[in-house]
Amino acid sequence: RGLMEGKRGLIMGVANNRSIAWGIAKALKDAGAELALTYQGDALRKRVEPLAAELDAIVAGHCDVTDEATIDAVFSTLEEKWGKIDFLVHAIAFSDKDELTGRYVDTSADNFSRTMQISCYSFTAVAQRAEKLMSDGGSMLTLTYYGAEKVMPHYNVMGVAKAALEASVRYLAADLGKEKIRVNAISAGPIKTLAASGIGDFRYILKWNEYNTPLRRTVTIEEVGDAALFLLSDLGRGVTGEIQHVDSGYHVVG
Ligand code: 0WD
């Protein structure tokens, strides 16, 4: 397809070959992009290195978004190797499993801050660094979920963080548009990944989607990857500040 020929970018949030970030990485690579991946900690390093090799991607090192020094290290590696980048994918979220079940009202202050930092602020933190490397403009993308818009069972504090993340997409789009940098999010339907396994009753949510979405099925990481390709390539050049649903249409019925 060649849509991403000559474009280089960073993908954060590959944990294994079920990760949404992996679906996005494959779609971008198929379209000709050059990729860099990060991993979080040594356990994931062993998973991510062979995946990176599969796509001829650079491994830009360990990045824990709660440690800003590790974010800076990744971006200086990219600056050294490439000088500039064209796109950024942020597919990172975290909350204590114990608070992704039961009632939102019982959320603790500690986990609230941590969830907000990792799942919302980190996108702004990486956008700050990426802006400096997007000298010819660029496209940034994050991942969100319908629990930002409506109350979904067990999503709780993560829904609040995703609402803030979606608002930050709009503010970042407004700030960075002058530099020809676009900022968007994909609101993906439920997909069985490592992160999703922490959410209470996740299997029931998948079944519910199979019965109730307009397309009568759930979505795949390949489908999220193709929508990401649109937003990150020049096909999406007129689109910024957008929350693009890739959810088999659930948001029109749910
Ligand atoms: O149904 C789903 N799976 C949906 C996921 C529906 C809609 C949206 N999303 C979102 C998630 O909220 C997240 O923002 O998509 C994004 C990617 O999630 P994923 O692909 O579902 O999950 P996973 O494969 O587990 O990747 C998320 C990764 C982490 O994996 P684990 O499972 O080890 O937490 O985010 C990374 C980590 O690699 N991550 C971090 N990276 C850097 N610093 C941190 C951190 N502090 N915490 C988590």
Single-letter code of the amino acid located at 210? E
* pLDDT for 200: 80
**Residue in this structure with the two tokens 């930092």, named with its chain if needed:** 117
Question: Is 195 one of the annotated binding-site residues?
Answer: yes
Work out which ligand 1 atom sits closest to the CA atom of 142. 14
Q: In what order do the strands lie in the sheet with 243-246?
A: 58-62, 34-39, 8-12, 87-90, 138-144, 181-188, 243-246
CATH fold for the domain made of 8-247: Rossmann fold (3.40.50)
DSSP-derived 3-state class of residue 97: helix
8 DSSP β-pair partners: 34
Give the residue ranges of the chain where pLDDT is below 70. 1
List pLDDT tens digits, range 122-140.
Answer: 999 999 999 999 999 999 9
Residue 144 in 3-state DSSP?
Answer: strand
Q: What is the pLDDT of residue 1?
A: 54
**Among 39, 145, 146, 250, the one annotated catalytic:** 145
> What percent of the chain shows pLDDT beyond 90?
97
Q: In angstroms, rounded to a whole number, what is the distance separating the alpha carbons of residues 248 and 97?
A: 26
Question: What one-letter code names the amino acid at 43?
Answer: A
- The question of whether 145 is a catalytic residue gets the answer yes
Residue boundaries of the structural domains of the chain: 8-247
| In contact, 232 and 87? CB cutoff 8 Å | yes
**pTM score of the predicted model:** 0.98
Q: Is 252 exposed, middle or buried (0-12, 13-18, 19+ CB in 10 A)?
A: exposed
C-alpha 143 to ligand 1 mean position (Å):
9
With b meaning 16 or more CB within 10 Å and e meaning fewer, what string describes 1-11?
eebbeebbbbb
With beta carbons less than 8 A apart as the criterion, state whether 6 and 73 touch: no
Cα(14)–Cα(37) distance, integer angstroms: 7
pLDDT of residue 252: 98
Q: Compute the distance from residue 194 Cα to the ligand 1 centre, in Å.
A: 7
State which ligand 1 atom lies nearest to the alpha carbon of 16. Answer: 24
CB 70 within 8 A of CB 122: no
Rounded to whole angstroms, the Cα distance separating 131 from 87 reads 10
Nearest to 188 by CA among 149, 158, 240, 224: 224
Q: Is 146 a catalytic residue?
A: no
CA of 178 to the centre of ligand 1 (A): 30
- Read off the pLDDT of residues 67-98 as tens digits, 9 standing for 90 and up: 999 999 999 999 999 999 999 999 999 999 99
Q: Nearest CA to 57 among 80, 83, 78?
A: 78
**Which of 14, 38, 40 to mutate for ligand 1's pocket (most ligand atoms within 8 Å of CB)?**
40
Query: In the chain, which residue ranges form alpha helices assigned H by DSSP?
Result: 20-30, 41-54, 68-82, 109-116, 122-133, 156-176, 202-212, 221-232, 250-253
Among protein residues, the one with the nearest Cα to ligand 1's atom 10 is: 143
